[in-house]
């Protein structure tokens, strides 16, 4: 009996150790590499105990949880001190100078394996909206940012990450309970910022939107603005709001300007989280990240029930008073609140769906055109509008914005035709149109680098000649990409809707 008991105890210990190794094995990659490694349970436990710090911080009574791996901090820095808006610059061109040629792949919690065959089978079996649903609830809806040698990523699985730009090792992972973030994380003097609240509706909000609008996402989770230590990820302060804070804000001189799904624009002091002013418009801010020009904060809003109040709104940064309202009563569904505008030398450019034919609530009953709007960024006066394709399309149930990039007076516009179109900003003349890059829509801004355009389209990055639109090279991955990529030094860094972050040297793409 004693021998049998000893064997039973040994068996139980082995089972317990196996269970423990499964629970903590995921974290080993954080210490050695961004890839998975197998080692003994004893070594794993020892590394974890000695090399991470946990922060459990209560903000407005809500617990936020952060894990910091200081050994994964970069030994040197690269990139800007601050990252202040979506796409880094008002014209949305996130190219960062430096000496970097890195290659790594980092899986995030809740990622989909690198298996596009399985992904496509699921899309075929469950429906094409499976992909967008995964991205909205689990993947990554926006691109990465970078400052001081750290790549920042907001995952819709509810985590904010800091990643070593040189090797892809995770520096911190901050869990945000009951919510997610669709912000590109912003950085200002050692403080990180993300908006909270994703693409969710309760029944009433869904019904209001189906019948012509409604304020988006009120009381559907923890919504607001979260500040964290940009090195460790430790939460610092929180502003709770009624509605989702989905559009990425913009930072000017230590103040962050941001808006929410119920049409409120906020100005907030970054150092202490104090709200300086608020402005309210009767519309919904969805994914239309804010821009800034000459003292004016610019935001896009979609319709709200029962009338179409879609508009681009400019307010003065110093006091929140109204500068102008560009009314867009022809905008289709959420498009004006989705599109990420760009500004260049006094020109404001936005790409939306509009002039719909058909009626809600069934989206397949509606046909809309893609409308390019060019306006004066100071006065709000529309200079011209144009239909840049000969197509119509059904609006999406997620995002209906088409995000321009402007470089040297040329608008590079993604289209519903799956092409990039180059347009002279001063007169609206189409300079060239690329060949079709994807069977579906192109929505993300290209990234301009050394006379080339880098364009994420599905699982492929296309590189076009910026002067004529011809394809120079393609780079195929096992990821689904719908976000603007960034370039740091000689390296492309991109996120995926399947919850991965990766870096690849430009020399391997061209």
Contact criterion met (CB below 8 Å) for 451 and 444: no
169-171-177 Cα angle (round to 5):
120
Q: Which residue has the higher pLDDT, 207 or 32?
A: 207
Which range, of 30-39, 375-384, 460-469, averages the lowest pLDDT? 30-39
If one compares 20 and 138, the residue with the highest pLDDT of the two is 138
Q: Above 60 in pLDDT, residue 84?
A: yes
The DSSP H or E segment spanning 477 is strand 471-481
In the predicted structure, residue 203 carries a pLDDT above the cut 60: no
pLDDT by residue (tens digit) across 253-270?
999 999 998 899 999 999
Assign a CATH topology to domain 52-509: Methylamine Dehydrogenase; Chain H (2.130.10)
Mean pLDDT, range 167-177, rounded to an integer: 96
260 exposure class (CB count in 10 Å sphere: 0-12, 13-18, 19+): buried
**pLDDT tens digit string along 273-318?**
999 999 999 888 778 999 999 999 999 998 766 678 899 999 999 9
16 or 93: whose pLDDT is higher?
93
Q: In percent, how much of the chain has pLDDT > 70?
A: 85
Quote the pLDDT of residue 330: 85
Supply the pLDDT for residue 22: 41
Q: Is 134 helix (H, G, I), strand (E, B) or coil?
A: helix
Res 204: pLDDT = 58
pLDDT digits (tens, 9 = 90+) for 382-414: 999 999 888 878 776 667 778 999 999 999 999
CA neighbours closer than 13 Å in the CB half-sphere of residue 91: 16
pLDDT for residue 508: 96
Q: Is the Cα torsion angle 102, 503, 227, 52 positive or negative in sign?
A: negative
pLDDT of residue 251: 99
pLDDT band for position 143 (cuts 50, 70, 90): very high
Q: Give the global pTM.
A: 0.87
> Which region among 104-118, 174-188, 303-317, 458-472 has the lowest average model confidence (pLDDT)?
303-317
**For the chain, give me the number of helices (H) and strands (E)?**
7, 34
Question: Could you give the count of Cα atoms lying within 13 Å of 144 in the half-sphere of its Cβ?
Answer: 31
Measure the CA–CA gap between 159 and 181, rounded to whole angstroms: 8
Q: Is residue 466 pLDDT above 80, yes or no?
A: yes
Query: What confidence category does residue 5 fall into, taking pLDDT thresholds of 50, 70 and 90?
Result: very low
pLDDT tens figures, 65-75: 999 999 999 99
12-41: pLDDT as tens digits: 444 334 334 444 433 433 433 333 222 222
d(CA 67, CA 150): 16
- What was the pLDDT predicted at 208? 59
């Amino acid at each position: 009996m004693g021998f049998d008991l000893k064997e039973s105890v040994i068996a139980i210990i082995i089972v317990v150790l196996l269970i423990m190794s499964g629970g903590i094995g995921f974290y080993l990659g954080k210490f050695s590499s961004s890839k998975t490694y197998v080692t003994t349970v004893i070594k794993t436990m020892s590394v974890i105990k000695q090399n991470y710090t946990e922060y459990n911080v209560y903000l407005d009574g809500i617990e936020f949880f952060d894990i910091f791996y200081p050994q994964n901090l970069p030994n040197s820095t690269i990139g800007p001190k601050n990252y202040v808006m979506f796409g880094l610059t008002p014209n949305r061109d996130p190219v960062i100078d430096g000496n970097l040629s890195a290659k790594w792949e980092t899986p995030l919690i809740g990622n989909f394996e690198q298996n596009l065959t399985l992904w496509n089978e699921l899309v075929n079996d469950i429906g094409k909206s499976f992909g967008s649903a995964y991205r909205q609830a689990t993947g990554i809806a926006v691109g990465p940012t970078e400052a001081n040698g750290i790549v920042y990523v907001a995952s819709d699985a509810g985590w904010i990450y800091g990643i070593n730009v040189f090797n892809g090792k995770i520096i911190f992972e901050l869990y945000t309970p009951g919510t997610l973030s669709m912000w590109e994380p912003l950085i200002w003097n050692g403080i990180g910022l993300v908006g909270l609240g994703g693409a969710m509706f309760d029944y009433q909000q869904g019904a209001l939107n189906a019948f012509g609008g409604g304020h988006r996402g009120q009381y559907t989770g923890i919504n607001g603005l979260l500040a964290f230590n940009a090195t460790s990820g430790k939460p610092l302060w929180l502003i709770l709001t009624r509605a989702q804070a989905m559009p990425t804000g913009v930072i000017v001189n230590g103040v962050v300007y941001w808006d929410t799904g119920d049409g409120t624009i906020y100005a907030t002091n970054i150092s202490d989280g104090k709200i300086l002013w608020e402005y309210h418009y009767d519309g919904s801010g969805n994914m239309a990240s804010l821009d800034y020009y000459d003292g004016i904060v610019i935001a896009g809003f979609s319709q709200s029930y029962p009338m179409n109040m879609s508009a681009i709104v400019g307010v003065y940064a110093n006091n929140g008073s109204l500068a102008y309202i560009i009314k867009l009563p022809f905008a289709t569904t959420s498009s004006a609140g989705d599109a990420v505008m760009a500004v260049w030398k006094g020109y404001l450019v936005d790409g939306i769906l509009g002039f719909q034919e058909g009626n809600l609530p069934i989206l397949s009953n509606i046909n809309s055109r893609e409308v390019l709007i060019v306006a004066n960024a100071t006065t709000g006066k529309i200079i011209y509008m144009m239909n840049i394709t000969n197509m119509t399309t059904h609006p999406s149930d997620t995002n209906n914005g088409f995000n321009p990039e402007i470089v040297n007076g040329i608008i590079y516009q993604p289209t519903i035709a799956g092409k990039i179109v180059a347009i002279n900003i001063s007169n609206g003349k189409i300079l060239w149109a690329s060949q079709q890059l994807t069977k579906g829509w192109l929505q993300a801004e290209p990234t301009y680098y050394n006379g080339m355009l880098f364009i994420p389209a599905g699982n492929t990055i296309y590189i076009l000649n910026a002067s004529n639109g011809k394809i120079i090279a393609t780079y195929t991955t096992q990821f689904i990409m719908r976000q603007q990529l960034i370039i740091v030094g000689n390296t492309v860094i991109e996120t995926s809707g399947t919850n991965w972050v990766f870096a690849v040297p430009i020399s391997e793409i061209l």
